[in-house]
A and B are shown apart, each in its own frame.
Chain A
Amino acid sequence: EAGVAQSPRYKIIEKRQSVAFWCNPISGHATLYWYQQILGQGPKLLIQFQNNGVVDDSQLPKDRFSAERLKGVDSTLKIQPAKLEDSAVYLCASSLGWSSGELFFGEGSRLTVL
């Protein structure tokens, strides 16, 4: 069974530029999550999708971050414009359903903002 796929693995941009990350969850997983992990900290939930609908985006900085999951499968997370403090690993995870506590994570996309 293929795992959660993410790209790109690494991205370096300058502040005020934009960046987009892509995630393809495990086949059949209805719930998709984007987490931000700053160095030395635990993952922090940014947004959670159930199929193609948003169920929680309370911690997403909506002035600069956006995410979509148009067909209920893969998803993109965009940052525009980026700030220095956005430097982090962006982790995508999926689960069978929203009642499942076990998440399956991708390898992450490491963003460095200069």
Chain B
Amino acid sequence: DQQVKQNSPSLSVQEGRISILNCDYTNSMFDYFLWYKKYPAEGPTFLISISSIKDKNEDGRFTVFLNKSAKHLSLHIVPSQPGDSAVYFCAASSFNNNAGNMLTFGGGTRLMVKP
């Protein structure tokens, strides 16, 4: 049972345009959401996060939107650059008294930004 889903395995965008990556979750106990970026042969690196008490968080070209009622979040990249080409993972977290914050990852979306 996948609790975090990224339904688009890949996305192709022209340089300078907006990239929108989507993520859906099913567990209403998730209260913290993160996006990670992964280049080939490297480990994932943290990109941006959002707490469930907010609906938007912005960091430079990256903005994450959270719609709790729809259990949906999205990552917007504006403007997209060729260096943004990577696999993006959505992750959701809920706090467990025994184990602390436990992350559940989506399957990833491969973003290709064309020059």
Contacts and interface: CB of A to CB of B under 8 A. Distances in A.
**Most B-side CB within 10 Å, residue of A55, A93, A103:** A103
A46 interface: no
A73 interface: no
Contacts of B93: 101
**Most B-side CB within 10 Å, residue of A43, A55, A97, A101:** A101
Nearest to B45: A105
Interface of B is mostly: strand
A103 B100 CA distance: 13
Interface residues of A, number: 26
B42 to A, nearest CB: 6
A56 B103 CA distance: 12
A50 B100 contact: yes
B111 interface: no
Nearest to B38: A105
A105 B43 contact: yes
A107 B4 contact: no
A42 B101 contact: no
A99 B89 contact: no
Interface string B42-55: 11111001000000
Interface of A is mostly: loop
B31 to A, nearest CB: 9
Contacts of A55: 98-100
B98 A43 contact: no
B41 A41 contact: no
Contacts of B91: 42
Nearest to B46: A102
A98 to B, nearest CB: 3
A37 to B, nearest CB: 9
Interface of A: 4, 31, 40-45, 48, 50, 55-56, 91, 93, 97-108
Given A102-B46, A108-B43, 12 more contacts: A4-B43, A42-B6, A45-B103, A48-B99, A55-B98, A55-B100, A93-B43, A99-B95, A101-B103, A105-B44, A107-B41, A107-B43
